[in-house]
Structure 1
């Protein structure tokens, strides 16, 4: 029996697609859970212990309010993939290929600007002016500490014990600084860091062939439908007295 001189290589397993990076607001998640707990507690209590039309009003109120709380606190998220950015807002889901995005803009809100001029706010990445102020204060303190540490090292070098100023004891001057040697970047608010990450992905992927396409917008009917139904039910109950 003869054996082939060359054997075909074994088929390689497919490379798994990279998972999207997900950005959400921790404060929104915590606030949403607390609000839902309070609303459900009050609503269920009214359903169980209420009389007359109170249970019906409580039920209609729950149908109206619970989806709204979920929409504005738990639902918002931003999904950053290799080919596109997906923005899940309270009532819409916007899918934007990187090639269609012109810029990611931060002012009083974080927005995506497309080539057509459309702007979409990212609810999951809210701007916190207070966080920016705290970051700027930390940056100013770190810069002042670094200048003080540099001035201290310069004074030791110019003193009478010059050998000690620039030699082995000079290394202890590093303890006076506010940062390590590898941490030289500016202090940034967390949402600004998220925007920096998204801009980096945009710069890297916007010209890729797989990152081209059309912007699509889908309404979140799973949120809109129960909200409308709850509002109609509340209006009917109030109208009939």
Structure 2
């Protein structure tokens, strides 16, 4: 006697085929962790050993500064899926369906341009001119070595492709995703922008408390 096999649940057609690709700045995260450590060390020291209004000033300063440090260092990220590009900047979250994206531009900053012409900076992908110059030097050296090897008759390994800075490589990946999914029915829609009140609220509260303490003398 055999028992019927349990059938696997049918896949959800609305579920994405793969998780979001997440792009962040390692240097920004490292700087944020270091700054938070310094602020917490100084602030807690002032709370514990301070006298008079010093602990209150330290508390207000921490409430103001910590959200700002998180906003500009740990918070920025870019999420890319088959349907949209989601940009998490210090104070806003921008969602751009691929169909609403006009271009991804790289200059002195990396930007996403909506079809209406509105530009949104990608804080998580800062442009490093130093990294670009380093990549250009590596490309020049590889081309020079290839040329010398061809002239001398000795075989040399051909470079896999142009040497690019890390953020420029990321922008290339995003452009490829945009071209691949821009015509998809699931990737259509209007851009949306949401303010990050979870950052603005605590920072504003800290600023008000600090102003009150300073005004009271």
Structure 2 length-normalised TM? 0.93
Deviation string 1:162-208 (CA, Å, 9 cap, x unpaired) is xxxxxxxxxxx33xx4xx44x43000000000000000000100000
CA-atom RMSD, angstroms? 1.2
Q: Counterparts in 2 of 1:55-134, with a 5 A limit?
A: 55-134=55-134
| Residue 184 of structure 2 corresponds to residue 232 of structure 1 | no
Q: Distance in 2 between matches of 1:14 and 1:151?
A: 58
Match of 1:194 in 2: 170
Cα distance in 2 for residues equivalent to 1:150 and 1:14: 55
Per the alignment, residue 20 of structure 1 pairs with 20
Question: Which stretch of structure 1 is more off in the superposition, 68-77 or 14-23?
Answer: 14-23
Q: Aligned equivalents of 1:105 and 1:149: distance in 2?
A: 36
Partner of 2:4: none
Asked whether 1:138 is paired with 2:163, we answer no
- Distance in 2 (alpha carbons) for counterparts of 1:11 and 1:147: 58
Which structure's CA Rg is the greater one? 1
Per-residue CA distance 1:102-131 (angstroms, 9 max, x = gap): 100000000000111100000000000010
Unmatched segments (≥5 aa) in structure 2? 1-6
Runs of 4+ in 1 over 3 A off after TM superposition: 10-13
Alignment partners' CA distance in 2, 1:63 and 1:11: 50
Residue 197 of structure 2 corresponds to 221
TM-score normalized by structure 1?
A: 0.84
Deviations 1:21-44 (A, max 9, x none): 000000000000000000000000
**Which whole-Å CA distance do the structure 1 matches of 2:205 and 2:188 have between them?**
38
3-state SS, counterpart of residue 203 of structure 2: helix
Please give the per-residue CA displacement for 1:61-101, whole angstroms capped at 9, x wherever unaligned.
00000000000000000000000000000000000000000
Q: Please give the secondary structure, in 1, of the residue aligned with 2:120.
A: strand
1:11 Cα deviation (Å)?
6.3
How many residues get paired? 208
- Which structure 1 residue ranges, 5 or more long, are not aligned? 1-9, 154-172
